[in-house]
Amino acid sequence: MTKSDVPPHWDRTMQQRLARGEAAALGEFYDRFASLVHGLAHRVLGDEHAADGITREVFAHVWEQPDTYDPRRGPLRTWVAELTHRLAVERLRATRTAALAHSTHGSPGDAEELERQVRHASVAARADYIVHAMPVPLRAALEQAYFQRRDYHQTAADLGVTEDEARRRLRLGLQLLATAHDTETAQLDAPPGIGGAA
């Protein structure tokens, strides 16, 4: 493992504390990641109560099996996001499959529709995670462009950077977001004023 592969000190220390069974460590872990876990679960499931259940499952797993985190595979934040996503997708599949089994009008297309819903929810959850995990300058540029509908000229002025820097940040942010999709089929629609300008 190279020096650049070593996870942040907080991650290593937190895993060690959780492995020792320190309740205070679980509290700190919860404070840091609860909103991420709940938000991702809600994005996949679209249901507050179900997201609460997944949040409890994730933190129970972290408490009971902290050694399943492998620091060589990335930061704790990524691990907990992947765990959340996996559990939420399993819940979505189980819930929808049970609903289909009880439906008197089930058809072969229902299974395909379920998989489409799972893929859509997975991409949306991954995009949310990517936006919240990306560096603040990139996230700020994307928020200006998408949520405030600013073009790159306005984004540059609002952020106090050059237009070239605004285009660079938007391009990098969009490239990161594109990884949320299957690279063979994904196409992100650029907001007005960005398409072709980057």
The CATH number that applies at residue 141 is 1.10.10.10
Any domain includes 197: no
Residue 65 DSSP symbol:
-
Over residues 61-66, mean pLDDT: 94
The pLDDT of residue 198 is above 50: no
Any domain includes 52: yes
85 half-sphere exposure, CB direction, 13 A CA radius: 19
The band of 193, judged by pLDDT with boundaries at 50, 70 and 90, is very low
82 half-sphere exposure, CB direction, 13 A CA radius: 10
Name 76's Cβ contacts closer than 8 Å, sequence gap at least 6. 7, 10, 11, 14, 15, 29, 33, 69
The domain tally of the chain equals 2
Top-confidence residue, 62 or 3: 62
Could you tell me where the DSSP H helices lie in 136-192? 136-142, 152-159, 163-178
139 half-sphere exposure, CB direction, 13 A CA radius: 10
Q: How many CB atoms lie within 10 A of CB 103?
A: 10
* pTM metric for this prediction: 0.62
Q: Note down the domain range covering 79.
A: 3-133
First to last CA, the chain: 36
Q: What is the pLDDT of residues 13-24, one digit of tens each?
A: 999 999 999 999
Question: Position 139: which residue type?
Answer: R
Helix (H) or strand (E) holding 132: helix 108-133
Q: Does residue 117 sit in the same domain as residue 27?
A: yes
Query: What three-state secondary structure class fits 2?
Result: coil
pLDDT at residue 195, rounded to an integer = 36
Q: Does residue 112 sit in the same domain as residue 84?
A: yes
Over residues 157-185, mean pLDDT: 78
Share of the chain above pLDDT 70, in %: 80
Helices 76-102 and 23-45, packing angle to 10 deg: 50
Top-confidence residue, 189 or 120: 120
pLDDT at residue 140, rounded to an integer = 86
Q: What is the pLDDT of residues 64-104, one digit of tens each?
A: 999 999 888 888 888 998 899 899 988 988 887 776 666 65
Any domain includes 195: no
Question: What is the rounded CA–CA span in Å between residue 61 and residue 68?
Answer: 9
Q: Does residue 39 sit in the same domain as residue 121?
A: yes
Q: Are 196 and 167 a contacting pair, CB within 8 Å?
A: no
Token pair belonging to 88:
């939420």
